[in-house]
Amino acid sequence: MVRVVLLLVAALALGCSPTVSPQPVQGRTKLETNAVYFWKVTSSTVEWGACADAEDFRKSVKPLPFSQNSFLIYKTDAMAMKAKAQTCTSLDPSTCMDSTSGLVFDVAGTELVFTRPVLKEPLRVRDANDVERDSPCQLTQLETWTVRDQGQKFELEVTNALGLEDSTPPSGECELIETNLISRSTNMAGVRGCVITFKMGGELR
């Protein structure tokens, strides 16, 4: 089973203080400096690329959860070249602090991008005696966040590019796992080359 690890940056709006986020400007081409942006999440979907469609492969992957109090929040630096994810207790920048998620976006115009270091996780397999163990074959995940500021609206795409890698090559287990998954998939796809895209949308508050 493939476990896709994602960290959703969300904050609970517990108070009713007004936001002082920069107001949306038609045709905005850059972000303001030293500004906190509060984006209320209103939609969430997941899209599959060329990935195995075996039920056990896909069943644990769902759209990112959100509630009526879910927000994507970040603060730009003095040059509006970087933006740090924030955790806030209300829609008031004075209640915000840097998030423990460690998300620091690179800003280019009104687009923000963050790429997490490649995550490697041993896959669990069963041996001939039906004993579960960690395989030397690891699932690799390259996670990239892209936020597009569209003025009043925003789009967030979180892509997970998956792969398989032997931690002690050549074990051959990655090939066995990939071949087995392909044989159980009606679309004859596997893990290698699979890209899962999580999408969120919403509006500036």
Has residue 145 been placed in a domain?
Answer: yes
pLDDT digits (tens, 9 = 90+) for 146-205: 999 998 999 999 999 999 999 877 778 899 999 999 999 999 999 999 999 999 999 998
Assess contact for 111 and 100: CB atoms under 8 A: no
Has residue 21 been placed in a domain?
Answer: no
Has residue 124 been placed in a domain?
Answer: yes
Q: What pLDDT, on a 0 to 100 scale, did the predictor assign at position 134?
A: 84
Has residue 43 been placed in a domain?
Answer: yes
Has residue 29 been placed in a domain?
Answer: no
Q: What pLDDT, on a 0 to 100 scale, did the predictor assign at position 183?
A: 96
Q: What pLDDT, on a 0 to 100 scale, did the predictor assign at position 26?
A: 57
Has residue 19 been placed in a domain?
Answer: no
pTM listed for this prediction: 0.84
CA separation for the pair 185, 189 (Å, rounded) = 6
Q: What pLDDT, on a 0 to 100 scale, did the predictor assign at position 140?
A: 95
**Considering its fold, how many domains does the chain have in total?**
1
Range of the domain at 80: 36-204
Has residue 101 been placed in a domain?
Answer: yes
pLDDT along the chain (205 residues), means of 10: 47 36 62 94 96 93 90 94 93 91 94 95 78 87 95 94 87 89 96 96 92
Has residue 3 been placed in a domain?
Answer: no
